[in-house]
Structure 1
């Protein structure tokens, strides 16, 4: 448990003699409108820490929102008024006279930084409390992760097409007067394609791990910060089942195929095994060298004789691409608009109160809702209050 009174007292000592301005603080006429940003503004901690320190913890007065201003805290230092404001172009210390007030502004920045360090236990507690509730936004990185998947897929496809185009080509390289070696560019291109195939698979699972959580939020299955944390730490299969209905035959078919890819391709390659088919050993026997492979199934990794069928790169990547189409089909189609097209953050309060669930009922409904949220986000970014 945190002793808030103790942390508050420590932060108050650290920030002294800076204090909240009051009616007795000397200030020029129209100071609130004419104050100028100081160079010391660049030395301030992040805006949210400054706000929580001054307003939440220490109780400094917040004048609220104005045009292009998210919040404004008037303070007094050395008998003069200053403003700590989060404006459109960032957090700043604003003074009545420059350069005369620049030195004082630098001292204010130092005091705020010192108090922010002293208040660190409060920030940790504040974050933990926020995570228990639904007053949170979840960052949406789905589009960026998907673009990476498409990037590697494109490189894989280009190498495969080039290898096919040059399949009959060879290059003879003389290594001496009487000998030479024959090189086939097509073989080199196929090896390069294999590398891109692995990168494509890796990026696919990275993207889906993220996208499944966002879809689960839109479906109302994950509505608190703690819930998001638990789902983020869960395995890929758990995330899949929170986003898609595995009782659907087509979905179950995709799930089984992707699990196989993940186990036999991604896991072994990612964790330093010996090959996509799990081949790792050759067993010594009177019959000769017997290939042995590691098989990762529901009952856990174990050994089997044989090289294994594995997954051809073309088949695997074709499966990934088919699943992408399936993911954004049917009842999940509205999610595509919100997550991929509009790239909006996920607001947990809207998941908890059923707003998302209602918007997911139709594509037109989601388009209208996403447009509204996008407009609100633009206004907030521009601080058009």
Structure 2
């Protein structure tokens, strides 16, 4: 799909943006022109949150990009009712420049900004509805997308609750033995440790699922054979099985089984209203006896029949299991891919990136240089240091 070759779309955008006319040939714009009288106005990012879509609209109505410069990604010059203006994407967002020799009042310039923004909002909505949604779906199917790397944010959440559990079981938590309405809380140390352990487990599986998605382009993934969108929507176990050979690799099988047990005991139960698959929280009624647990004498190995479901030993066991799996990922099955993930760089799924990554993974040294180069490009783009 070539948006810029669609004459019908161009005409539609020109109607919506009819107040904007191309600038005179040779107009240098304002952002990088020293001494040109102008108002410099901030465009509300809540109204136009994606500069790239604004740029598409401006291109469709025939405006010309004046080019990049220091801290400037692009600038388009135009006229509105004979007033020279330009819209620029700079390091801290979109800025509208207005010729102050024609519009002297700041309030009048702000009114013009609002008028232009309303037109761009309308064009943005129409473009998304008519073209971009279908285009985006097609790009995702082909692997032409980027996924933001949130590895460190999710790991920080996991480590926050891990530290909370550790402090609680050590008697340094924040739960008071005294209840707000009087009375005393039973074993506040273990109770708070239990709360944090459950949250820690949930956070770890969130981190794990995100990591598995980020690892995908380093594992021979081909979007023509397996839809990325479907992979993202699968449960953690299915993701794990598709990346690691659980049926043939004993270490992968052992780690999968460990994760499965932890998920069943802590994550799935407390993530689904306190109910597990085995009916441990069900009590059946027997006349003359009372209520008996549905799992019968299997309660011996079940945490739901303890005063506090998780103790310090349980926490340590789970933490050590997670540490071991992290080590396995970093050192055994995905050392180079995990370097990329832990670098914080975003991950790309298009054929070009997958080919570059595959070549770089021929040696650790090549891969280090690949990360260094991509980090440089990322920093350059973020700071607009062209």
- Residue of structure 1 equivalent to 2:21: 19
Q: CA deviation at 1:373?
A: 1.0
Matches of 1:153 and 1:369 in 2, distance apart?
33
Task: Tell me: CA distance 1:318–1:286, structure 2 relative to 1, closer, same or farther (3 Å).
Answer: farther
* 2:119 is equivalent to residue 127 of structure 1: no
* 3-state SS of 1:86 partner: strand
The correspondence of residues 1-385 of structure 1 with structure 2, limited to 5 A, is 6-23=8-25, 27=27, 33-34=33-34, 36=38, 38-39=40-41, 41-42=43-44, 45-46=48-49, 47-55=51-59, 57-97=60-100, 100=104, 102=109, 103-121=111-129, 122-162=131-171, 187-221=187-221, 223=223, 227-246=227-246, 247-274=248-275, 278-285=279-286, 288=289, 289-293=291-295, 306-307=298-299, 309-310=301-302, 313-314=314-315, 315-340=317-342, 342-349=343-350, 353-385=354-386
1:175-228 Cα deviation digits (max 9, x unpaired): 9xxxxx9x697x22101111111001000101101000101122232558x833
* 3-state SS of 2:299 partner: coil
Matches of 2:267 and 2:238 in 1, distance apart?
17
Q: CA deviation at 1:89?
A: 2.4
Matches of 2:318 and 2:331 in 1, distance apart?
20
Aligned length: 356
Runs of 4+ in 1 over 6 A off after TM superposition: 28-31
- Residue of structure 2 equivalent to 1:178: none
Matches of 1:28 and 1:347 in 2, distance apart?
36
TM-score by length of 2: 0.80
Q: Is the contact made by 2:28 and 2:66 (CA closer than 8 Å) also made in structure 1? A: no
Task: Tell me: CA distance 1:349–1:119, structure 2 relative to 1, closer, same or farther (3 Å).
Answer: closer
TM-score by length of 1: 0.80
1:146-179 Cα deviation digits (max 9, x unpaired): 1111110111111112289xxxxx99xxx9xxxx
Matches of 2:145 and 2:365 in 1, distance apart?
26
Any gaps of 5 or more consecutive residues in structure 1? Answer: 165-169, 176-180, 294-303
Task: Tell me: CA distance 1:372–1:286, structure 2 relative to 1, closer, same or farther (3 Å).
Answer: same
Q: CA deviation at 1:278?
A: 4.8
Any gaps of 5 or more consecutive residues in structure 2? Answer: 304-309
* 3-state SS of 1:328 partner: helix
Q: CA deviation at 1:28?
A: 8.0
Q: Is the contact made by 1:254 and 1:323 (CA closer than 8 Å) also made in structure 2? A: yes
Tell me which moved more, 110-119 or 75-84.
110-119
* 3-state SS of 1:280 partner: coil
